[in-house]
Amino acid sequence: MNSQLTARSFVLFALLFVAAIGLNAQVAQHSTAKTWEYGPFFNGGIGIGDRSDYKFIWTGAQAGRTITPMLHAGPLTGSFELGADAAFFQAYTPAPHTLTVGENTYNIGGGTFTGATVAPVIFRWNFSKHAHVQPWLQAKGAVLYTTHKFPPDVLVEHGTHGGTSVWNFMPQGGVGFRYFTRPNRSIDFGLNAIHISSASLGDKNPGVNASLQFQVGYTFWK
């Protein structure tokens, strides 16, 4: 059920993004202004594949600055933005349980994991704005810290997760668009594909190979 809902949501968002690109291609504004933007955001999503029973939420604040003038390239006309964000993070995983493999039984951790994530670098391409709509593409690198080793794995002495890490990395890419309610205010919608990995900081690196995160935010432009 989750995978079907995710697929339908992805298709719907992709159609909205393509429509935004289509509108954007009709009229390109020729502004060369370099601007700041900042505001709160909320992310929510689920894991994919063997992590489809994982759920995620995080909320925080982001900021960025347009660092190039408008670069003209037909329907790809736009400007480059460099940004960063920080957020409070929670992951909801299956409850602790036992796993039997052959004659061996293992206690597997689980439950709710709390932490914080910081993305020191966000590369975003803002397409030129048409009317109230401005689509964008982005690539992002983030660091995740959780108060317990994540993702859950075999429990060892004192109930800690064997071999995983409290530190993980979250490379990600996404698409989205802004809807401007006023010239200097926008409601933002995004869809990000995220990979979570400890880069083998622990003995094991089960990671979360893929998750889809839907984002909504409110941005102030200056």
Count of domains forming the chain: 1
pLDDT, residue 113, reads 96
Residue 179 lies in a domain: no
- Residue 155 domain flag: yes
Q: Is residue 11 part of a domain?
A: yes
Per-residue pLDDT band for 33 (boundaries 50, 70, 90) equals low
For residues 90-104, give the mean pLDDT.
Answer: 90
Describe the chain by its helix, strand, coil percentages, rounded to 5. Answer: 15, 60, 25
Which token pair is 182?
């006023």
Quote the pLDDT of residue 218: 97
Mean pLDDT of 145-170: 86
CATH number of the domain where residue 191 is located: 2.40.160
The answer to whether residue 126 sits within a structural domain is no
In a domain, 127, yes or no: no
pLDDT digits (tens, 9 = 90+) for 125-141: 999 888 899 999 999 99
Residue 128 within any structural domain of the chain: no
Domain extent, residue 60, equals: 2-22+33-121+133-173+184-221
What is the C-alpha separation between 86 and 117, in angstroms, rounded? 6
How far apart, in whole angstroms, are the C-alpha atoms of residue 195 and residue 39?
24
Q: Is residue 96 a part of any domain in this protein?
A: yes
